[in-house]
Copies of this chain bind each other. A is one copy, B any other.
Amino acid sequence: MPVRLAIEADLDYWLPEPADILLQLEAAALPDQRLDSRALTVWSDHPIAATDGDEGMGQRCWARTQYRLMAQYRATVTVDRVAVDIAALPPTPPRALPGAVIPYLLPSRYCQSDRLEGFVRREFGGLSGGAMAQALLEWTRGALIYRSGVSQGDTTALDTFASRMGVCRDYAHLLVSLARAAEIPARCVGAYAPGVEPPDFHAVVELWLDGAWRLVDPTGMARVEEIVRICVGRDATDIAFMTVFGTAFFQAQRVAVHRLDG
Contact status B62-A94, CB under 8 Å = yes
Decide if A8 is an interface residue (CB 8 Å cutoff). no
How many Å lie between the Cα of A95 and that of B100 in the bound state?
Answer: 26
Decide if A108 is an interface residue (CB 8 Å cutoff). yes
Contact status B249-A99, CB under 8 Å = no
Decide if A262 is an interface residue (CB 8 Å cutoff). no
Copies in the complex: 4
Residues of B within 8 A of A49 (CB): 95-96
Among A96, A105, A106, A112, the one with the most B-chain Cβ atoms within 10 Å of its Cβ is: A106
Of B103, B117, B238, B243, which contacts A163 at CB under 8 A?
A: B117
User: Interface residues of A, CB < 8 Å — how many?
Assistant: 56
Contact status B119-A238, CB under 8 Å = no
Q: Which residue of B lies closest to A157 (CB)?
A: B162
Decide if A149 is an interface residue (CB 8 Å cutoff). yes
Minimal beta-carbon separation of A45 from chain B (angstroms): 12
Minimal beta-carbon separation of A221 from chain B (angstroms): 20
Contact status B52-A183, CB under 8 Å = no
Decide if A165 is an interface residue (CB 8 Å cutoff). yes
Of B60, B106, B116, which contacts A99 at CB under 8 A?
A: B60
Minimal beta-carbon separation of A29 from chain B (angstroms): 15
Contact status A52-B100, CB under 8 Å = yes
Contact status B246-A117, CB under 8 Å = yes
